[in-house]
Amino acid sequence: MRKQLSAVILLVVLFFPSRSFSLTPDEEINIRIYREAAPSVVNIVTTAVSYDFFYNPVPSTGSGSGVIADRKGHIITNFHVINGARSLEVTLFDGGKYEAEVVGVDPGDDIAVIKIKAPASKLKPIEFGDSSTLQIGQRAFAIGSPFGLEKTLTVGIVSSLGRTMRATTGRLIRGIIQTDAAINPGNSGGPLLDSSARMVGVNTAIFSPVNGSIGIGFSIPVNTVKNIFSTLVSKGYVSRPWLGITGQNIDPTDAGLLNLKSSGVLVADVFKESPAEKAGLRGADANVRLGNVIVSTGGDLILSINGKAISTMDELNALMDTFEPGDSVTLKVLRGKKELSIKVILEEMPRSSDERKVKR
């Protein structure tokens, strides 16, 4: 019996050698992508300090991923990976460990830049791609440290483009890439790659009821990262224009119930010393109940900015992103029954909530 089995194995080896030892074209691509890009991906371990019931310090750790951006030691990751961390430790592909410092953060895009002091010879920068050329259905590769398991590759496709995702600041991040390449906790901050091993996105979040990949992952477009990287390195933050209001969406149904002749964004609050206050915008002075919802009333209703109609705060914020601090914009508002045109000179958005106090 053993002689017969040995003869069968010998025949298989002789007549089907390629099937036993060769790689498929897809496997060769996967291996090439990993070999080219993995040395540019790092593991980030964060240490934060909280306090127990007796106010004793209790250190806690977390982990994420990052991408080497240049030979100066700058590393791109997610803001939520390093937010609140007291210390950061970066592990390179070769196992070398380095302390890192935060260089710049952009909570509005969930991007951060940190830096390590490592020899340039140990730093292999990632190659940047162009996320504007992505197409649904093309291959996508994710490298990172899911659940702390370093140097992991997963493969999928670009499932959708142009998604939106809300950052921790409440700002909508636009142009998000959706992929079914497995992304799990710990992958955050790692790269999404195309078939040429170029980074086309920064993996940032998943949609999952089980806290693990179900094939719905999201990446911030690399073009967004490229637009803000130099600013984060030089200034430490991204300068954005600020109007200085909180607003409430008024749809056509709400407008009818409130006896308003148009939908738009109702100014609920005006921040002290903000561009809105300096221009004379008025916030709400009363609240009414519409069904199960409390709606502010009495404030200005913003109808358009520079002639572009708006109906939601998201639309207003999207328009704000097209301006720069110091730009002058004209708001068309409804105050009572009268339409007004109000000129506002935008200022730089305060970086601390302590700098934004509501006018009462």
**Closest to 126 (Cα-Cα) out of 182, 189, 60, 186:** 189
Q: Which of 40, 74, 106, 110 is catalytic?
A: 110
Query: Do the Cβ atoms of 38 and 86 come closer than 8 Å?
Result: no
Identify residue 234 by its one-letter amino acid code: S
Q: Which residues contact 251 (CB under 8 A, 6 or more apart)?
A: 263, 311
The bridge status of strand 286-290 relative to strand 308-309 is unpaired
Q: Which residues contact 360 (CB under 8 A, 6 or more apart)?
A: none
CA dihedral over 83, 216, 35, 151, signed as positive or negative: positive
Is 300 considered catalytic here? Answer: no
For residue 196, how many other CB atoms are within 10 A of its CB? 13
Q: Which of 63, 80, 194, 274 is catalytic?
A: 80
Is 110 considered catalytic here? Answer: yes
For residue 308, how many other CB atoms are within 10 A of its CB? 13
Query: Do the Cβ atoms of 81 and 46 come closer than 8 Å?
Result: yes
Is 80 considered catalytic here? Answer: yes
Q: Which of 188, 213, 263, 296 is catalytic?
A: 188
Catalytic residues: 80, 110, 188
